[in-house]
């Protein structure tokens, strides 16, 4: 399978009738539909089952975010599955799925079988422990051909709205007793004056005392570094080590995977650590016991905001001044660790009119999240006769998750912001700052007991039956502060 931050993405195009709907968000969620939606209001996603353990695949994004509003895409819980441990994937649809897993499999089942200990390597009989090492690395870049094209002829402003005759592009401001021409910094568009390198204008970098251009006019030209230079080269590193062995008495496999992904935006990173152990033991000719356990720790930093007003791309694609140099914005943030924006209310009011410095957003108004998860089972099969066996199994899926969102003091304050929504979304508030955390815990326990019958009554007639029971206990809590 192709290595991605979410193994579910690799199912796309591999099975007929399986719709895989992905997002372009860093570490974003993926929906899997088997032959379309079946419910207008419920969950249409397929049920994931790994070695007989039904998996929770919740998407914990706020309601606002799921409705294309403000928020973060924290991904779907099935992304915890380590693709390095997968042996095979099968899809069950219709009655075959519901017969095994009941009503919650009405949308189909994605059945995952993990790798087991092997007696051979490359078809050659092996003695002793086998060691497998897998490493991969990839690097990416921003495709400039698909990014927005910026015109380089006109600078910041909404048009000819200034001056006594309404035909001037700049603000005339009396600064230190002298009338000066300032670019209209409150106007987050580029319908202003035609660029002219011989024209000296006071711009955003002339406002703050820490700026090298403080109270200095600079040439009226297009920026040397437009928003395309904001993005970084993403890269992914994945390393796996596995120990396995098998004999006539049983088998085992122990593996560890470290996955690290750096995003395209500054201060964005996903780290996943996964350790897995499974095995089986033939206690007697009639009794076999088996077990599987997987523990994962996933941490995310700096996922991109979605929606409109909190999304940096909203500024870059719609509300921006082409005279603003992104590298100079970075220089001023690195120099001061303050929100020195290009979008001041005025030289006398150094609060953001609409937009923060993009580096302030990425390093001060960022999110963090983590999820610790254990998935496992223990089972035993006892062969009563050649045609009857009893199978018992206990399985568990449990995790705790923490999602944190920040908005630092000094950020843009939207007078029409709604603050923290009832569903736990942190929008731009009238205070311009805030903190939100979601504590989520989930656990599901399944107890299965089944009797399997397989008897040849005659050469042309066979009796095959299954009789069993299942007890399921589920606990879920979500606290928002």
pLDDT tens, position by position, 392-430: 999 999 999 999 999 999 998 765 454 445 454 555 444
The CA-based dihedral angle spanning residues 347, 353, 358, 360, taken in that order and rounded to the nearest 10 degrees: 80
At 267 the pLDDT is 96
Which is higher by pLDDT, 162 or 444? 444
**pLDDT of 279-310, one tens digit each?**
999 999 999 999 999 999 999 999 998 887 67
Candidates 359, 132, 107; CA nearest to 230 is 359
Residues 11-29, mean pLDDT to the nearest whole number: 78
Of 111-115, 308-312, 381-385, least confident by mean pLDDT is 308-312
Mean pLDDT confidence for 338-353: 93
Per mean pLDDT, which range of 65-74, 178-187, 299-308 is the poorest?
Answer: 65-74
* pLDDT of res. 303: 94
SS3 68: coil
- Band (pLDDT 50/70/90 cuts) for residue 7 is confident
Instruction: Report the C-alpha gap between 339 and 350 in whole angstroms.
Output: 9
Relative to beta strand 434-456, strand 388-407 is antiparallel
Question: Is the Cβ–Cβ distance between 110 and 47 less than 8 Å?
Answer: yes
Cβ atoms of 189 and 319 closer than 8 Å = yes
For 123-159, the pLDDT digits (tens) are: 777 777 899 999 999 999 888 888 999 999 999 998 8
- Taking residues 435-454, what's their average pLDDT? 94
**Could you give the C-alpha distances from 205 to 230, 260, 327, 336, in angstroms and in order?**
18, 37, 12, 13
- Identify the pLDDT of residue 100: 75
* pLDDT at res. 445: 97
Which helix (H) or strand (E) segment holds residue 96: the answer is helix 95-101
- Residue 256 confidence (pLDDT) above 80: yes
Q: Identify the band that residue 14 occupies on the pLDDT scale cut at 50, 70 and 90.
A: low
Give the rounded percent of residues in the chain with a pLDDT score beyond 70. Answer: 90
pLDDT score for 29: 86
Most confident of 22-31, 93-102, 286-295: 286-295
Of residues 431 and 160, more confidence is placed in 160
**Which pLDDT does position 1 carry in this prediction?**
47
User: Could you give the percent of the chain with pLDDT greater than 90?
Assistant: 56
Contact indicator for 208, 214 with CB cutoff of 8 Å: yes
The CA distances from residue 465 to 96, 386, 404, 453, in Å, are 14, 14, 50, 5
pLDDT for res 336: 96
Q: Rounded distance, CA 156 to CA 395, Å? A: 61
Q: Which helix (H) or strand (E) holds 312?
A: helix 312-317
Give the whole-angstrom CA distance, residue 17 versus residue 26.
26
What is the predicted pLDDT for the residue at 418? 43
Question: Given a cut of 90, is residue 173 above it in pLDDT?
Answer: no
Per-residue pLDDT, 430: 45
Distance, in Å, from the CA atom of 474 to the CA atom of 397, rounded to the nearest integer, reads: 9
pLDDT of residue 286: 94
Stretch 65-94: mean pLDDT: 85
> What is the longest distance spanned by two Cα atoms in the chain?
108
Higher pLDDT, 346 or 423: 346
Integer angstrom CA distances of residue 481 from 74, 369, 418: 18, 15, 16
Retrieve residue 27's tokens. Answer: 């570490």
DSSP letters spanning 163-230: STTS-BSSEEEEETTEEEEE--TT--SB-SPBPEEEEEEB-GGGTSTTSTTTT--EEE---SS-GGGG
84-121 burial code (b ≥16 CB/10 A, e <16): bbbeebebbbeeebbebbeeebbbbbbbbebbbbeeee
CB 244 within 8 A of CB 254: yes
7-16, 48-57, 225-234: range with lowest mean pLDDT: 7-16
């Amino acid at each position: 399978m192709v290595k991605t931050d979410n193994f579910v993405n690799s199912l796309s195009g591999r099975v007929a009738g399986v719709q895989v709907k992905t997002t372009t968000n860093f570490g974003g969620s993926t929906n899997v539909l088997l032959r379309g939606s079946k419910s207008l209001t419920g969950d249409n996603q397929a049920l994931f089952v790994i070695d007989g353990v039904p998996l929770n695949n919740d998407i914990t994004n706020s309601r606002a975010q799921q409705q294309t509003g403000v928020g973060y895409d924290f991904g779907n819980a099935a992304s915890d599955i380590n693709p390095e441990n997968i042996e095979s994937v099968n899809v069950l649809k219709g009655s075959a799925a519901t017969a095994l897993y009941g009503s919650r499999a009405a949308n189909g089942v994605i059945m995952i079988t993990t790798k087991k200990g092997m007696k051979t390597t490359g078809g050659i009989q092996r003695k002793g422990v086998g060691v497998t090492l897998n490493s991969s690395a990839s690097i990416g870049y921003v495709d400039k051909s698909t990014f927005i094209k910026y015109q380089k002829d006109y600078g910041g402003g909404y048009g000819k709205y200034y001056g006594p005759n309404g035909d001037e592009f700049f603000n005339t401001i009396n600064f230190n007793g002298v009338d000066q021409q300032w670019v209209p910094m409150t106007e987050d568009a580029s319908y202003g004056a035609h660029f002219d390198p011989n024209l000296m204008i006071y711009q955003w970098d002339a406002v703050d005392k820490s700026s090298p251009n403080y109270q200095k006019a600079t040439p009226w030209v297009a920026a040397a570094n437009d928003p395309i230079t904001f993005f970084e080269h993403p890269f992914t590193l994945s390393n796996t080590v596995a120990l396995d062995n098998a004999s006539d008495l049983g088998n085992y496999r122990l593996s560890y995977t470290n996955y690290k992904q750096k995003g395209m935006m500054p201060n964005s990173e996903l780290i996943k650590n996964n350790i897995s152990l499974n095995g089986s033991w033939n206690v007697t000719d009639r009794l076999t016991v088996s077990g599987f356990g997987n523990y994962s720790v996933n941490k995310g930093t700096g996922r991109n905001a979605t929606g409109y007003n909190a999304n940096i791309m909203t500024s870059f694609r719609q509300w921006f001044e082409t005279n603003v140099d992104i590298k100079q914005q970075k220089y001023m943030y690195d120099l001061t660790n303050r929100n020195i924006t290009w979008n001041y209310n005025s030289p006398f009011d150094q609060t953001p009119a609409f937009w923060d410095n993009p580096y302030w957003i990425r390093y001060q108004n960022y999110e963090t999240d983590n999820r610790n998860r254990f998935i496992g089972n223990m089972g035993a099969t006892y062969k009563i006769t050649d045609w009857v066996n009893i199978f018992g199994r206990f399985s568990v899926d449990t995790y705790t998750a923490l999602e944190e969102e920040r908005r630092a003091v000094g950020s843009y304050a939207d007078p029409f912001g709604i603050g923290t929504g009832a569903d736990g979304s942190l929008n731009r508030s009238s205070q311009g700052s805030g903190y939100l955390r979601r504590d989520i815990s989930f656990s599901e326990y399944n107890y299965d007991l089944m009797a399997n019958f397989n008897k040849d009554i005659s050469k042309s007639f066979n009796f095959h039956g299954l009789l069993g029971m299942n007890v399921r206990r589920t606990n879920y809590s979500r606290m928002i502060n």
